[in-house]
Structure 1
Amino acid sequence: MPDKTNQLNFLKTCCSIKDKLGVNITIRAYRVEDYPRLIDMYDRFEPKRIAMGLPHSDKKLRGNWIDCILSSFFNMVAIYQNKIIGHAAIDILRNKSSPEYMIFLDQDFRNRGIGTSQTMIIKKICEELGCKQVWVAITCHSMLGIRVFKKLGFKFTGAIGPEREMVLKLKPKSKK
């Protein structure tokens, strides 16, 4: 799989966080050698098709979707005991002013602050790159996701329906 991290040198470092249970989680940029473990995360992921039909329930379609995200988005993973338990992706490689953001967490690691931490890191990355805003598509029944995004400053935009967009206005770092 393509490794886009070489285009974003300042992201080669990683960080460790403690989740709400005190468990150490590593968050870092995706590396090509993570591919089998990322596929494994999505194979274990439940419920399938939770967010606008994603991740796909069909293994082949799911693999094609993952390959597409890896080749066109900047990707970040959350790791616990050498197992990928979270995947966040931001479309800064194609759209730097208003990139799309997506995040998926293993069902056993939700509601522990990991997604919040990944989203805060993505926000910082986007501000450092000069993005004006970042947006996420979310289903209205994803109450946990909506709560997290609202807590971080995202606001609903557009038409009301079963799928909505939420936007976070950013304060881009000024170029000196």
Structure 2
Amino acid sequence: MTGRTYPDEPADSFPEPPLEFTDGEDREIRIERSGVDDFERLVGMYDEFDPADRAQGIPPVKEEAVREWLDTLLSEESVNVVAVHEGEPVGHAILVPDREAAYELAVFVLGDYQSAGIGTRLLEALLGAGRAADIEKVWLTVERWNEPAIALYEKLGFETSNAESFELEMAIRLS
């Protein structure tokens, strides 16, 4: 056991995908459930990822490593949503099961699409899809210096569950 703690009360409800909205840059964005069918499109998105936007070693840099990583992420047990603009993925969020009956969250948005509200909507849709899949507990790690991400996670209902390393661990209860 990690000693991770979760809030006693479930978070507020979240919308389930599909969702459509206009982002802060006036682009039409659609958020939808994702899976194995999106594999090649996601490889392409991660190929465009700026190395400066990578955190904690992910997403991987080389295409072969991205393919292996996505093989793991797009399993039947995980929950995936993708933000699409003009038919191409620009963001991807994932809930991956761990060994303790909880799910780890990861979210990625291409640099040109950051700070336009896409990450927020992507996370809301992911948490809505997670609740619909009867997922109860979700956790994530975030670098301590990433104040905008921490503020967003707190706004969504995440609470700090472990602050003993250079990263914060945060958790939320969906049900």
How would you bin the TM-score normalised by the shorter chain? 0.7 to 0.9
The farther-off stretch of 99-108 and 123-132 is 123-132
Secondary structure in structure 2 of the residue aligned to 1:33: helix
Structure 2 distance, partners of 1:90, 1:167, is 12
1:42-101, Cα deviation, whole Å (9 max, x unpaired): 011112572211111233222211111112522111100111100111125x77952111
2:79 is aligned, of 74, 77, 99, to: 74
Q: Is the 8 A contact 2:158 2:172 kept in 1?
A: yes
2:104 is aligned, of 97, 100, 107, to: 100
Q: Structure 2: which amino acid aligns with 1:74? A: V
2:131 is aligned, of 116, 127, 130, to: 127
Instruction: Say whether residues 1:30 and 2:34 are aligned partners.
Output: yes
Structure 2 distance, partners of 1:84, 1:147, is 25
Percent identity among equivalent residues?
28
- Alignment: residue pair count: 159
Secondary structure in structure 1 of the residue aligned to 2:51: coil
Q: Structure 1: which amino acid aligns with 2:54? A: I
Structure 1 distance, partners of 2:54, 2:166, is 12
Q: Can you give the 5+ residue segments of structure 1 that lack an aligned partner in the other structure?
A: 1-10
Secondary structure in structure 2 of the residue aligned to 1:91: strand
CA distance 1:44–1:98, shift in 2 (3 Å)? same
Secondary structure in structure 1 of the residue aligned to 2:47: helix
Instruction: Say whether residues 1:20 and 2:24 are aligned partners.
Output: yes
RMSD after superposition: 2.3
Q: Can you give the 5+ residue segments of structure 2 that lack an aligned partner in the other structure?
A: 1-15
Q: 1:36-55 maps to which residues of 2 (within 5 A)? A: 36-47=40-51, 50-55=54-59
Residue 166 (structure 1) shift:
0.8
Q: Structure 2: which amino acid aligns with 1:142? A: N
1:142-162, Cα deviation, whole Å (9 max, x unpaired): 332212112212111114322
